[in-house]
Copies of this chain bind each other. A is one copy, B any other.
Amino acid sequence: MLTGKKNHVVPVLAGLGAILWPGLAAAADGLNSGDTAWILVSTALVLFMTLPGLALFYAGLVRSGAVLSVLMHCFAICCVVSVLWLAVGYSLAFSDGGYANAFIGGLDKAFLAGVTTDSLSGTVPELLFFMFQMTFAIITPALIVGAYPERVKFSAVLFFSAVWLLVVYVPVTHWVWGGGWLAEMGVRDFAGGIVVHVTAGISALVFASMLGSRRGFPDHVRPPHNPGITVTGAAMLWIGWFGFNAGSALAADGNAAMAMLVTHISAATASLAWATVEWIKFGRPSVIGIVTGMVAGLATITPAAGFVGPVGGLIIGLVSGIVCQWMTAWIKHRIKIDDSLDVFAVHGVGGILGTLMVSFLALESFQGLGLAEGMGVGDHLWVQTVGVVSVAAWSAVASFVIIKIASAIFGLRVAEEDEIEGLDITAHGERSYDF
């Protein structure tokens, strides 16, 4: 989310200056129409990741009786988050929280009060910064949809997602990108390894374990009903991720280009790594495998995209394709949690890996763009670890409490016969295919 400049990376707080006091930034920079064009597009691209990207990616992986319910989850979460983001989310994440600023922002910008078409964030309209950030707020709870398909109550999904946004996503965003305590420590998270992937991954694991497994897990669940849809969604995620990572440069410049480049290389390498391991282990590479590798590569490069170079992208891709694959099997067979679409193994693990690896790979010896002045690898790794651990802990605890409440008010899980018949018809009254 900050514009790393080669050799002397702007410290996080400086980047945030532009965000927190847009008037100031405006005075210094003025609106740049090229940057604005790119962030308008990036906003569209990141929304495209959720709708239809992620929605299709997930929908293809479930059984045919729960396709529409997955689409509904993603779509409804998008709508609910959008309204909440306008109401208070953006303000709590990105405005000044006064004495509590280390932990949470203020309410001055609730409903965008006082923000006009002339307000700037850096070189782009603040309204656009609001929109761009909103698309991140949308996709994060939508990622968690992969933890609970085929069996969750729709009301519980809505309640959980709304509260989770305000209690987990918004504060963590403030900590890391909004000038909170992690930002002050110097945590680096270019486009959301911590803010997006760690929060969603950990919470998914908590949700899945509290909800219980799908009927028949692990041996008798149905295989993905339509891998072609999953590949389609995956491709959209890949494209959209250019907006996610290169858009996080908040400018149309060389940094954006580098972020796009390493994002792409990591995705490609992780895909190949995943498929190769499958080929060796099972005798044939699968298309679901290769696209899952792609998502792992993308999640893992996310915190690092603005800090590493091409070779860093290759390394991140390679590591994520192997480690995340190993984790998908490990969670299922050892931990025996039915995180059905592997949200933790792919996003959570990827986000953690990337956040830690950036401490090495940002070094110029790896073609990286350098660490902050005066920071060594050890110092930096420590800061990153604090970031990951504290956010993981907060996500786990808060999710646990929210789910307990959801469970008490609405119940988490549908009746077994509704699960058998499928959520499409029982929760939404619709059938996914009528040929």
**Interface residue A203 (Cβ < 8 Å from any Cβ of B):** no
**Interface residue A407 (Cβ < 8 Å from any Cβ of B):** no
**Interface residue A242 (Cβ < 8 Å from any Cβ of B):** yes
**Interface residue A361 (Cβ < 8 Å from any Cβ of B):** no
**Which listed segment binds B: A166-174, A252-260, A329-337?**
A252-260
**Interface residue A311 (Cβ < 8 Å from any Cβ of B):** yes
CA distance A294 to B72 in the complex (A): 13
Across-interface contacts of A130 in B (CB, < 8 A): 261
A:85-114 near B, CB below 8 Å: 86, 111-112
| Least Cβ–Cβ distance between A283 and chain B, in angstroms | 8
**Which listed segment binds B: A38-46, A144-152, A376-384?**
A38-46
Across-interface contacts of A226 in B (CB, < 8 A): 432-434
A:201-229 near B, CB below 8 Å: 222-229
CA distance A339 to B55 in the complex (A): 29
Whether A227 contacts B82 in the complex (CB less than 8 A), given A40-B252, A117-B6, comes out as no
**Interface residue A397 (Cβ < 8 Å from any Cβ of B):** no
10 interchain pairs (CB within 8 A)?
A: A36-B257, A37-B252, A40-B41, A79-B267, A82-B265, A83-B272, A111-B367, A131-B257, A223-B434, A286-B429
**Do residues B254 and A428 form an inter-chain contact, with CB atoms below 8 A?**
no
A128 to chain B: closest residue by CB: B257
**Do residues B6 and A260 form an inter-chain contact, with CB atoms below 8 A?**
no
Across-interface contacts of A6 in B (CB, < 8 A): 116-118
**Do residues B34 and A369 form an inter-chain contact, with CB atoms below 8 A?**
no
Whether A428 contacts B285 in the complex (CB less than 8 A), given A79-B269, A269-B79, comes out as yes
CA distance A239 to B232 in the complex (A): 16
Interface residues of A (CB under 8 A from B): 6, 31-38, 40-41, 43-45, 47-48, 51-52, 55-56, 59, 63-64, 67-69, 71-72, 75-76, 78-80, 82-83, 86, 111-112, 116-119, 124-125, 127-128, 130-131, 134, 154, 222-229, 231-232, 235-236, 238-239, 242-243, 246, 251-258, 260-261, 264-265, 267-269, 271-272, 275, 282, 284-288, 290-291, 294, 309-311, 314, 367, 369, 427-435
| Least Cβ–Cβ distance between A310 and chain B, in angstroms | 5
CA distance A124 to B116 in the complex (A): 25
Residue from B36, B47, B127, B265 within 8 A of A239 (CB atoms): B47
Residue from B35, B232, B271, B311 within 8 A of A52 (CB atoms): B232
**Do residues B40 and A288 form an inter-chain contact, with CB atoms below 8 A?**
no
**Do residues B31 and A33 form an inter-chain contact, with CB atoms below 8 A?**
no
Whether A31 contacts B253 in the complex (CB less than 8 A), given A242-B40, A268-B82, comes out as yes
Give the most central of A72, A80, A257: most B CB within 10 Å: A257
CA distance A432 to B434 in the complex (A): 12
Residue from B111, B251, B294 within 8 A of A33 (CB atoms): B251
**Do residues B112 and A231 form an inter-chain contact, with CB atoms below 8 A?**
no
